[in-house]
Amino acid sequence: MPGKSMQSTPIPYQNLLDTSKSSSERIYLSPPDIGLEEKELVMEAMESNWIAPEGPTIKTFEHELSQYLGTEHVIALNSGTSAIHLGLKLLGVGQDDLVIVPTFSFCAAVNPVLYLNAIPVFVDCENSNWGLDPEILEEAIKNCINTGSKPKAIVIVHSYGMPAKMDELRIISEKYQVPILEDAAESLGSMYKGQQTGTFGALSVLSFNGNKVLTTGGGGALILPDRHSYEKVLKWSTQSKEALPYYHHIELGFNYRISNIAAAIGLGQFKNLQNRIINKRLIHDQYVNNLSEIQGLSFFEDDSDCTSNKWLTILNINSSVAGKNNLEICEELEELGIESRPVWQPLHKQPLYRKYKSFIKGKAEQLFSVGLCLPSGSALSDNQVEYVSTAIKSILHK
């Protein structure tokens, strides 16, 4: 099945909004998009009775992931957060180590730093694609070194699927010899200079949460440099059991392996992965066509270095021109049965993380005041995108 087709407005705006939606028709931000293949593979896994965090489908799923990314060593885990946790542990992060984290990110990029009793240092994002700002990153690393502690790792996030400036960031990582943990949780299928995100870090992370472009219900993966680190993470993720007939533990372990049933969903999700990405990109284009002419509204567009999977379409609202801000529009969309969400509140502004050092130029704060994530599920119909666009126009009296 090819991707959904672009369609000009088939129903007048007013009619679209008159179709008052019941709660069962609520339009979600990015719900799972599941096909027959997934159901068949789950049934097969059930019939084989491999209903456990081990089984043959996990291996097949890992193989499929490594083929897709063009890398050799991929371990499937029960979440992207667990993958970040074990990734940082593999990089040697421990008590009181400093770890650079983008302030413009989801909490899962920083919480594993705290699980390891390490200390986050927040760095602002840059203007063009909302990834870690290379200049501010360098300033932060120098400052840490001057105050006696070189950071142990740099977490880089491809925000909302948009590839961060990897060339510039890698130069800094190499210059100061601080490894990158690449958080590609949201960006499976996004490319930077023709290369898949998820292949740039010393280690890289994917998420298969229900809202991601490839879901296993809940799950994640860590992309590793070699077989040795695969074996190490495999052991940690399965309670660090020693290879003995009885339970014997030397190292602290975790229950982080993906289940065979979840891996079956993931394997099925591969079949239509490219179409789901195409659909997300078409949804983005449809929103741009519908809304970008309105004064005060704008969208992020890929630059020549990047192709984003457009995991979520973000609408930027200049409230002094548009008349309403992102929070007001979010609340009014909710009344119409449409889920939207302001972009991330910068981590350094949140009570849990406020006490940590941050290097800020105001970009993440500015984004938080203007950005709104629009419904972007790959199964969204043209009419649903029209409905959301019409709702926004009517909220702004356009």
Ligand X SMILES: Cc1ncc(COP(=O)(O)O)c(C=O)c1O
Residues forming contacts to ligand X in the complex (CB under 6 A) are 79-81, 105-106, 108-109, 157, 183, 185-186, 207, 209, 220
The answer to whether 385 and 286 have CB atoms below 8 angstroms apart is yes
Residue number, 91 or 322, with CB nearest to ligand X: 91
Please count the helices (runs of H) and the strands (runs of E) in the chain: 14, 15
Residue number, 74 or 396, with CB nearest to ligand X: 74
Element (H, E) at 390: helix 382-395
Residue number, 109 or 283, with CB nearest to ligand X: 109
For ligand X, the nearest residue by Cβ is 80
Give the 3-state DSSP-derived string for 33-102, with helices as H, strands as E and coil as C: CCCHHHHHHHHHHHHCCCCCCCCHHHHHHHHHHHHHHCCCEEEEECCHHHHHHHHHHHCCCCCCCEEEEE
How far is it, in rounded angstroms, from Cα 271 to Cα 281? 18
The answer to whether 390 and 17 have CB atoms below 8 angstroms apart is yes
Q: CB of residue 58 vs ligand X: minimum separation in angstroms?
A: 16
How far is it, in rounded angstroms, from Cα 30 to Cα 329? 18
Q: CB of residue 380 vs ligand X: minimum separation in angstroms?
A: 19
Q: CB of residue 115 vs ligand X: minimum separation in angstroms?
A: 12
Q: CB of residue 50 vs ligand X: minimum separation in angstroms?
A: 22
Q: CB of residue 292 vs ligand X: minimum separation in angstroms?
A: 25
Residue number, 81 or 197, with CB nearest to ligand X: 81
Q: CB of residue 173 vs ligand X: minimum separation in angstroms?
A: 19
Residue number, 183 or 382, with CB nearest to ligand X: 183
134-146 helix and 166-176 helix, angle to the nearest 10 degrees: 20
What Rg do the C-alpha atoms of the chain give, in angstroms?
A: 22
Residue number, 29 or 145, with CB nearest to ligand X: 29
Phi-psi region at 115: left, alpha or beta (left = phi > 0; alpha = psi -120 to 50): alpha
Residue number, 185 or 264, with CB nearest to ligand X: 185
Q: CB of residue 132 vs ligand X: minimum separation in angstroms?
A: 12
